[in-house]
Structure 1
């Protein structure tokens, strides 16, 4: 049999089809994926975590009849006997590619637990074990695929490198002597146990110092999110952590550092810039730790081991697991890892990005002025500002988007910055409509229901269940539904809920465009610039992914709300976060000839978006992997709806403080 060349096969690559492995550790799951040049998933395995909430729910369900509709539970997940709801509210079931963490008498503690209201903890060893289990299973799948390919005289798949994407800010501490966690939990990014600590620190800090710290970090560090205050909480509340600190044995890191340290042959103790910039310890200008930022939290940098800050794409070490981790694997996992050790050369770990930055890369938002929005339980928007650092005056954060130092061209090889804004409630409002109001049985049904009416009929839904995030920043706001009449139907409310998410995305993009243009925030650059300025606008494309983005109806509503100057481009892959880590790993080869999948960022777009064709080529619709949405709304209608939204926001703000004492 003669093997002909294919888009995936490069005759210079020793008769192999190159793949990149990606580890993606999210808040509620771990996965490993093998990507080919087209950005397609060749092999995949995922483990969804159970939680203390799901454990209790399962126990209760074993004692009563299964309910017809699953009620929502805290922290994103609810479980029935045979399914679990993802972070986006989508019902998922076990299959050969996806497993749900099983709680047994032997494994009594789940990976996620909520010991007190507002406290969210993760088990570091569980996460590490599941990462390796996912990798082992994908290795086994790859071996089976290669057996079939060999029998059919096809070039074999080969993993060339590996990247990591991870939830940011989650804080872990472990021992330098043993390499094991000092306490059996890490503090997850959305944990709020440190709120009093943060509030007290803020109240004791002069405003000029607060501004200086923000200019250095790009962050409002007096927030419960960032790692600095979480580490301080550990030191204040866990005696074993303080003992290790005083003994010089304390290692600090986020999830990326923990994984890279634990699964590399050299125990690489590093953190890439996109993760390090979220600790509150790193100076954006020096790309290094800042003594003032560390000592501000009463931490002696000489008593603690901090990971080296590195780029997003460079060699960290070869994949390897120690005996202790090996013993935690399932029997199948051990078998697959042993086979991998015997049959495959070492795989270099050499790409690392925090999850939102990985999504920015995976959605190919490489051009300054492009932005991405991930619609999960909440929304995260990142706006690429290129090599220019912008400190927002309108409620956005400044962070690193990525740093690929080996790309050609001075600008391409420099660290790229991004503005970031977040929405507290996105997919969560869909879950609320489904579980609390029982308006539809599946989260996917919200788009069709919202499209049954041409507009919301004057209804405005501000989904501020836990306050308003960027750019409003009002913790006292609460969710409201306004403008209802006897004419209002369930479809109007569903549409208003979707619009509430989309309006908040527009508000963040409006704020970011003001930062980019240098405006004072009063002028709406999404509406009031000239046609000539549209062509030069620093904000032109919004790339989208996540649960709600899969709905054509929802994305058209988003496009209509944004208007004609911004096109919405939907990611062709569901796993753009993992794809971003794969792209980073591929770009870590210093010599372009060693980058077997994509030579540069332009080449990534060529293969993933256009199937190997140049952008200007005539290609069929079946070869184009993009879906683009453009506004179909009139200027008058769009501007009128925006003014109605702004009026609703003003009436929503300050609800808790206004009703205090009543």
Structure 2
């Protein structure tokens, strides 16, 4: 680890609070997890297209994971003091609001993939100044960012509106909510803080100045909202220390949104490097260096990471709303499979999808399409169609959207991507990753240790705790047993398949009318 205490093991830890589960990891100097624990929690679906989390369940799940994983660590003969620092990574855009006078949450967290704000977005697009938002934030107006979720809460939750009008309503993405409840500052005070990667997903941060912008707050009608203090992704003091539990007093020195954390965990520190994370959704980030590139092809501009006392690094991002959740849909809603891991096995039992194309637009389509009025649609079904064809079409849906994002990234950057680093649930399947390579026509690189999101938070924490001082110190971290998948299809096959996918996307547009959206989400 190139640490300060030579001859002794140095460990870093990471809270990984995701969309469907919370996890806690303790990593050794090679980036290998020596202890971990995961806890799933309930998803709340009040209406079609709505997704919520209980804010207090998120806090308790983190506490539970820390307690169980730390007990495993101690059982191996280690001590809490062997852990030098802790980082946090989290589902982004998911929004929590609370009263700062008592810390009470006033509404369930509205999850990033929630689409209830579709009618608000339509109204905002017609508002004066709407044309400035993309250039200022790097984000297109959509149901995705936090600002529209908070605006919806204020329009529909009387208690929140009253606290807002009184000037006491605090907002945070999940990292801020957890830090507010789990850590304390130097004087024992509550901390209301976030890092620049999470803040860049709110639509309230100016992508150039990396500060909250008065115009943006006014545009969304959130002038009185109490926003978290901004800090770099690795920071020696901003995030405080754990207030209680088995790791009481341990410094939190890293904080990153989950996709930025995965980029760091893949060690994609150089301009031009890209990674794709297959989770509930699928997120591809492309490092563009120290200057933001505003996409002209439907991608997002985001802060990739910022080390303490260093310039920020930016990325282009392609966000797919539905990836692993489509596999869960096959399992839980349709009963086609019993275990998620079966999908790859079934998909390769057939040479192709038999003409079936599954546009998995359960919450509209995200990058690079940004179609709010599409819904999930399966095309090409005949009497010949089997569950194997549907499983293959489900996997291909993520692969095709990844290809669309790669095409957009190459147009924006002018540089051809030659290699794609992958991690996350679907990347565990050799069959799925071979299909990905075959569809995009470039090599796919998968590390042996694929918990790169948590590892990225631990790396950020390591920089904040001065365990590392430069990227070169990380040469031995997560370096073993990478597997490469090389395409087995021809350019003609790739082009033909993708044209069919694009045709299906075009046909899925406009399923929801403006009247449908107003009735369903109001």
TM-score of the superposition, structure 1-length normalised? Answer: 0.71
Match of 1:353 in 2: 256
Residues 30, 460 of structure 1: alpha-carbon distance in 2 compared, 3 angstrom cutoff: closer
Q: In the TM superposition, what are the counterparts of 1:538-549 in structure 2 within 5 Å?
A: 538-549=416-427
Structure 2 distance, partners of 1:348, 1:540, is 39
How far does residue 512 in structure 1 lie from its aligned partner after superposition? 1.4
SS state of the match for residue 473, structure 2?
helix
Structure 2 distance, partners of 1:437, 1:250, is 41
Match of 1:426 in 2: 323
Match of 1:631 in 2: 487
Structure 2: any 5+ residue segments left out of the alignment?
517-522
Matched length? 511
Match of 1:77 in 2: none
SS state of the match for residue 628, structure 1?
strand
Match of 1:220 in 2: 140
How far does residue 272 in structure 1 lie from its aligned partner after superposition? 0.5
Query: Cα RMSD between the aligned structures?
Result: 2.8
Q: In the TM superposition, what are the counterparts of 1:180-219 in structure 2 within 5 Å?
A: 180-183=103-106, 185-203=108-126, 205-206=127-128, 209-219=129-139
Match of 2:34 in 1: 42
Find out whether 1:582 has 2:438 as its counterpart. Answer: no
Q: Deviations over 1:239-272 (max 9, x none)?
A: 4333333433332222111222333331332211
SS state of the match for residue 505, structure 1?
helix
Match of 2:407 among 497, 500, 510: 510
Residues 192, 475 of structure 1: alpha-carbon distance in 2 compared, 3 angstrom cutoff: closer
Structure 2 distance, partners of 1:31, 1:347, is 18
Residues 600, 608 of structure 1: alpha-carbon distance in 2 compared, 3 angstrom cutoff: farther
Find out whether 1:363 has 2:219 as its counterpart. Answer: no
- Asked if the contact 1:142/1:157 (under 8 Å) is kept, the reply is no
Residues 288, 467 of structure 1: alpha-carbon distance in 2 compared, 3 angstrom cutoff: closer
SS state of the match for residue 513, structure 1?
helix
Residues 226, 657 of structure 1: alpha-carbon distance in 2 compared, 3 angstrom cutoff: closer
Structure 2 distance, partners of 1:24, 1:230, is 23
Residues 426, 242 of structure 1: alpha-carbon distance in 2 compared, 3 angstrom cutoff: closer
- Asked if the contact 1:478/1:655 (under 8 Å) is kept, the reply is yes
Match of 1:529 in 2: none
SS state of the match for residue 143, structure 2?
coil
Q: In the TM superposition, what are the counterparts of 1:257-656 in structure 2 within 5 Å?
A: 257-266=176-185, 267-300=190-223, 303-315=224-236, 316-321=238-243, 337=245, 346-406=249-309, 413-435=310-332, 438-483=335-380, 489-517=386-414, 537-563=415-441, 566-589=442-465, 594-595=466-467, 598-609=468-479, 624-656=480-512
SS state of the match for residue 9, structure 2?
strand
- Asked if the contact 1:27/1:167 (under 8 Å) is kept, the reply is yes
Higher relative contact order (CA 8 A, sep 6+): 2
SS state of the match for residue 242, structure 2?
coil
Structure 1 distance, partners of 2:358, 2:150, is 38
TM-score of the superposition, structure 2-length normalised? Answer: 0.89
Find out whether 1:119 has 2:50 as its counterpart. Answer: yes
Structure 1 distance, partners of 2:205, 2:4, is 42
Residues 196, 140 of structure 1: alpha-carbon distance in 2 compared, 3 angstrom cutoff: same
Structure 1 distance, partners of 2:177, 2:378, is 44
Structure 2 distance, partners of 1:635, 1:239, is 57
Match of 2:520 in 1: none
Residues 562, 121 of structure 1: alpha-carbon distance in 2 compared, 3 angstrom cutoff: closer
SS state of the match for residue 274, structure 2?
strand
Structure 2 distance, partners of 1:601, 1:46, is 29
Q: Deviations over 1:347-395 (max 9, x none)?
A: 2111000111111211222222222222223322222212231111111
Structure 2 distance, partners of 1:486, 1:126, is 45
Comparing 546-555 and 481-490, the one that deviates more: 481-490
Structure 1 distance, partners of 2:25, 2:131, is 42
How far does residue 478 in structure 1 lie from its aligned partner after superposition? 4.2
SS state of the match for residue 16, structure 1?
coil
Match of 1:132 in 2: 63
